[in-house]
Amino acid sequence: MGLKIVHYAGKKLITLVVNEILATGLIGTTCALTTTNEQAMTLTGLLVKSGLKAKLAQTNDGFNLNDLFEIRFFLKAVKSEEHLTIIHDELWNKIKKSLSVRFSNAVALEVCMNFLTKFEEINPSKKYVSDLESFIFESKLEDFYTKMEKLFSFLQFTKPKEKSLTMSFYY
């Protein structure tokens, strides 16, 4: 693991940053910080255009996993069994299969499946409905994204008069 900090000042900052990222040959997770949302979006677009797997990271504060329709579908199917306190493996797998079939083309399916797998790992012997509900409300969406080979995250912070860009590479 290493850290590289590059500070640019002047015009055409985004082009310099993209060239630096492409020339570095980074492995693993990488973060580039920008001063504006526009810079972050432009940088993400140019990296994707260059063939890198880039993603614009945003905070999900205030977003609950229960806001995902797929999670609500799963929980509703579990709760449709009256007076159920423990979700038996047969029912769990049936609902999980139903979820994957119904939402096979959904963007959030992978996140939901990762969420369910993590819940299974935490609760290998018994899956309580109350534990599932708590896990939904205590979890964060970003905890269930699959790590990509190269992930570029861009975080925006406000410094209105500053016309510079700082990149921090962690590898």
The predicted structure's pLDDT at residue 53: 76
As a whole number, mean pLDDT of residues 138-146 equals 76
**Alpha helices (runs of H) in the chain, residue ranges in sequence order:** 13-24, 37-49, 69-79, 89-102, 109-122, 129-138
As a whole number, mean pLDDT of residues 19-32 equals 74
Let me know how long the chain is: 171
Whether this model's pTM surpasses 0.85:
no
Crossing angle (nearest 10°) for helices 69-79 and 129-138: 160
As a whole number, mean pLDDT of residues 81-109 equals 92
Residue type, 49: K
Number of other CB atoms surrounding residue 102 within 10 Å: 14
pLDDT confidence bin for 89, thresholds 50/70/90: very high
Q: What are the extents of the domains in the chain?
A: 3-55+148-170, 65-144
